[in-house]
Homo-oligomer: A and B are copies of this chain.
């Protein structure tokens, strides 16, 4: 694999964002995880490397640029995951299913599962769809059996 940090630096520059410590660290953390990551977790892991407010602003900037997307968990807490290709500042294309495991509480982006089209009552104009499934993830249902 190519140098990861270099890739992240390019990504920042491409989006008109300066190459800063907190930003690189957030990308580093998010890219190393197989599920969406909560703000509180990020805050804890980053420790004193960045102020809480900085973290919030980094996340907001990344979301606006289409670098990450936000998904709320069952408690309403923000979780973030790196976007698939095809997202940009102009539009997110993350209309995949999010799977919320009742056991390990991880939130998986099921990129392969598309949200089916929907018939809504007359007059309603659907702009975006957000489907959250809950249950047991592959790893946890394994353990139970």
6 contacts between A and B (CB under 8 A): A76-B76, A102-B127, A113-B119, A123-B141, A128-B135, A132-B132
> A48: CB under 8 A from chain B?
no
> A86: CB under 8 A from chain B?
no
A134-B127 contact in complex given A76-B76, A76-B77, A113-B118, C-beta closer than 8 Å: yes
Closest to A100 in B: B130
Chain A: how many interface residues by the 8 Å CB criterion?
39
CA–CA, A66 and B133, complex, Å: 20
Oligomer: number of copies: 2
CA–CA, A136 and B126, complex, Å: 7
Residues of A participating in the B interface, judged by any CB pair closer than 8 Å: 72, 74-78, 97, 99, 102, 108, 110, 112-113, 115-116, 118-139, 141-142
Determine the chain B residues whose CB is within 8 A of the CB of A142 once the complex forms. Answer: 123
- A123 and B138 contact, CB distance less than 8 A: yes
A106, chain B: closest CB distance, angstroms: 11
